[in-house]
Amino acid sequence: MVEIRFARPDEREDVVQFMHQSFPRAKWSIDGWRKLLSGRWAQEDDPFAVVVRDQGRMIGVLGLVMSRRQMDFGTARLCNLTSWYVDKAYRGQGIGQRVMQLVTADPALTCTNLSSARGALGVVANVGLQVLDDTRFIWERSGPSRLLVHDDLDGTEGVLSEREQQIMKDHADLKLCPLVIETSGGPCFMMISVQQKVDAYVTHEVMYLGDRALFARYAREIADAVLPEDHAAVLSVDSRFVAEGVVPDRTEPIPVPRFYSPGNLSPEAIDHLYTEIVLLGMKLY
């Protein structure tokens, strides 16, 4: 009989090995799988995976990146759903849906699925995940900006909030660029991932935006300040991060929408930090 449950702590390396074997085309080594399933931001009792076993043999897994974050109302629990696999012989039996249902059953837990495979969208919808975002806003550099950009944020205790200081600490060794842009309305804090996603330009992807309203007021100038002069680049911001009324240079559909289970959070409160995306330096769709 197939058993579906949260993985025990002593199964972590077994799950790592299973993931490594099941995803031979993954662009990271087995150490990448260990990083993904390490529970870097988790509490001691948070799960790191769901396992599926048949008579003791592992035949499926779903990785979980758990975190707890301070919001205006208090602490929110989040779970980023990562690599998901069921052996081919067991597919079509509803196992994938049962795996997802186990994780999403807790109404106080906000689950995110930011990089779903197209083939999994049916299961994602069947377990009640909703579209988090399906559009990104794009800015190109239009010319010089009067705004100052700070990328060395040592000694920013008086500039960044306690929450933003914690974000900096939690992501200090990952491939992200923290920025503070000085505006006449105050400092705008952003966490950006810089990736060559297409040949034509480099994408500066906003992973976290500290003040939506402030960004909305100065979006054009912020883009001009952040983007480099010496090569083609764009500033890319998921639409939920941006307050209404902002007009970007253009909009683009996100090829595979991002999904979530709301929990206690609204879409604009859900960013890309504390996820597989930043742990592994992945390129967002």
pLDDT on residue 85: 92
Query: Quick one: pLDDT at residue 244?
Result: 85
Q: Give the 3-state secondary structure of residue 178.
A: strand
Residue 209 near residue 271, CB atoms below 8 Å: yes
Q: What is the pLDDT of residues 134-152, one digit of tens each?
A: 999 999 999 999 999 999 8
pLDDT of the residue at 67: 97
pLDDT of residue 284: 92
Q: What is the structure's pLDDT at 156?
A: 63
Q: Give the pLDDT confidence score for residue 39 in this predicted structure.
A: 96
Dig out the tokens for 104 from the structure: 């999403």
User: Among 109, 122, 118, 97, which residue's Cα sits nearest to residue 64?
Assistant: 109
Q: Return the number of other C-beta atoms located less than 10 Å from residue 255's C-beta.
A: 9
pLDDT score at 171? 96
CATH 3.40.630.30 domain range(s) in the chain: 2-106
In the chain, pLDDT over 90 holds for what percent of residues?
82
Q: Read off the tokens for 254.
A: 């996100």
117, HSE (Cβ side, Cα atoms, 13 Å): 8
Asked whether residue 125 carries a pLDDT value surpassing 90, the answer given is: no
Integer angstrom CA distances of residue 185 from 162, 170, 212, 214, 218: 20, 27, 12, 7, 9
Give the CA dihedral 16, 21, 25, 30, nearest 10 degrees: 40
- CB-based contacts of 32, cutoff 8 Å, min separation 6: 26, 280
Domain at 2-106, CATH class:
alpha beta
**Tokens read off for 182:** 């000085």
Burial class from Cβ neighbours inside 10 Å (0-12, 13-18, 19+) for residue 221 reads middle
Q: What pLDDT, on the 0 to 100 scale, is given for residue 157?
A: 65
Give the pLDDT confidence of 4-63 residue by residue, as tens digits: 999 999 999 999 999 999 999 888 999 999 999 999 999 999 999 999 999 999 999 999
| Digit-coded pLDDT (tens) for 164-212 | 999 999 999 999 999 999 999 999 999 999 999 999 999 999 999 999 9
pLDDT score of 158 more than 90: no
pLDDT of residue 14: 97
Contact (Cβ atoms closer than 8 angstroms) between residue 44 and residue 22: no
Sheet harboring 186-198: ordered strands across? 2-6, 49-54, 57-71, 74-86, 109-113, 250-261, 130-140, 233-238, 201-209, 186-198, 177-183, 148-150
pTM: 0.94
pLDDT at 66: 98
The pLDDT mean for the chain works out to: 93
Are 254 and 91 contacting, i.e. CB atoms less than 8 angstroms apart?
no
pLDDT tens per residue across span 79-121: 999 999 999 999 999 998 899 999 999 989 999 999 887 777 7
